Amino acid sequence: GAVVSQHPSWVICKSGTSVKIECRSLDFQATTMFWYRQFPKQSLMLMATSNEGSKATYEQGVEKDKFLINHASLTLSTLTVTSAHPEDSSFYICSAQGTLETQYFGPGTRLLVL
Amino acid sequence: GQNIDQPTEMTATEGAIVQINCTYQTSGFNGLFWYQQHAGEAPTFLSYNVLDGLEEKGRFSSFLSRSKGYSYLLLKELQMKDSASYLCAVLAGKLIFGQGTELSVKP
């Protein structure tokens, strides 16, 4: 149980394009999902908290107009990186909150912006 | 501020026991998690402690002392596949991660 999927697992795109990443909880419903970013040799940094049916809450320093989050259902949250630039290249990981506030992570999406 | 400290790296021998320590200073506390992360993969959940004491789950155990702001993850009967990064994370409004401890298991 508590499986979270992410799609795509790899994205290579040109600078200036937008990239959409999907996060799904496969066998449970998640009112709350989270989006993290992880640079090489660093720990996970929370970008935003996504609540089903309401606006996402962004962490300080994260541009909400650049990283668009939609949580339209209890099993799906999407992150769209708009007008991506090379500095946005990173490992993006989502998680879905299950019981006892445990977060279950998706497999991650590696984004490379050329 | 929020601060979580754990050793950067550790080395241990296959079949041995290793203890990974984590100390934290956070504004608020609603539990402490340990995650395992293999290179290039997302973290997988290992344990959750919210009360003081030891939680045992197979070869892995986790201990918490809230008064000391201290936790450890104990790995027994180490296997080569246990080579990974181990992340200590405190739930304080949001999940705050430590830098992770890179564990290398040698034959």
Q: What is the pLDDT of residues B49-90, one digit of tens each?
A: 999 999 998 999 999 999 999 999 999 999 999 999 999 999
| Per-residue model confidence (pLDDT) at position A1 | 65
Is A35 in the B-facing interface, judged by CB distances under 8 Å? no
Convert the pLDDT of each residue in A23-58 to its tens digit. Answer: 999 988 888 999 999 988 788 899 999 988 888 999
Residue A37 Cα, gap to closest chain B Cα (Å): 11
Asked if A105 and B99 come within 8 Å (Cβ–Cβ), the reply is no
Extract the tokens encoding B44.
């997988």
Tokens 């929020």 belong to: B2
User: Measured between alpha carbons, how far is A37 from A44 in angstroms, rounded to an integer?
Assistant: 6
In the predicted model, is pLDDT for residue A2 greater than 90?
no
Tokens 């934290």 belong to: B24
* Of A41 and A14, the one with more pLDDT: A14
Q: What is the mean pLDDT of residues A75-103?
A: 91
Residue B103 Cα, gap to closest chain A Cα (Å): 13
* Torsion B12-B101-B47-B55 (CA) sign: positive
In the predicted model, is pLDDT for residue A99 greater than 80?
no
Convert the pLDDT of each residue in B9-44 to its tens digit. Answer: 999 999 999 999 999 999 999 999 999 999 888 889
Q: Are A35 and A94 in contact (CB under 8 A)?
A: yes
User: Measured between alpha carbons, how far is A43 from A66 in angstroms, rounded to an integer?
Assistant: 22
